[in-house]
Amino acid sequence: MRIAFLTALEGVEEIELTEPWKAAEKADWNPQLVSTGPGRVQAFRHLDKAGTYPVDHVLAGDSSDGYDALVLPGGVANPDALRTDGRAVGFVRDFFTAGKPVAAICHAPWTLVEADVLRGRTLTSWPSLATDIRNAGGTWVDQQVEVCHAAPATLVTSRKPDDLEAFCTAFVMEFRNHGS
């Protein structure tokens, strides 16, 4: 299974990238770092610079072809940058249109709001996104992990880094169920 991890070139919360990445590798999947530009993604630990990670693929359009599922790591700056990039928004929207599973943590649902894919869905996120999610037609819940099976695509969401273990367990199970 080939999993796209979509990030901007700067601002992704490092642990929200690395822990789900490890979970995908442990499941014997092929994670790919997809970004808005070439080079290396600059990760952060909250507001402090952390490691950098090589981009595997640069967004060229808005098609999810070639990927089986999508993971959207958080960080405040990362989804804020992604939601202003038409290619990124279209890429995310195409996963839903194609019925492919998506997982998003922390502030990552901001990109989902912009992609207009939350109407009728129940999800969780960092609490400050609750109003944005409701305004986009979604139902926000304060839970460690939320799995929404609303058609056409399964959505797995979590609130914060403290929820990573539950998030990784849930998205691996849902992605695996989708692939079988």
**Catalytic residue positions, numbered:** 106-107
Neighbours of 177 (CB within 10 A): 11
Q: Which two tokens stand for residue 125?
A: 């996120």
Q: In a 3-state reduction of DSSP, which class is residue 74? A: coil
Strand partners, 5: 33, 71
CB burial of residue 131 (10 Å; 0-12, 13-18, 19+): exposed
The whole-angstrom separation of Cα 137 and Cα 141 is 13
- The residue among 114, 90, 113, 100 whose CA lies nearest residue 151 is 100
**Which helix or strand (DSSP H or E) is residue 8 part of?**
none
The whole-angstrom separation of Cα 6 and Cα 129 is 19
DSSP code of residue 44: E
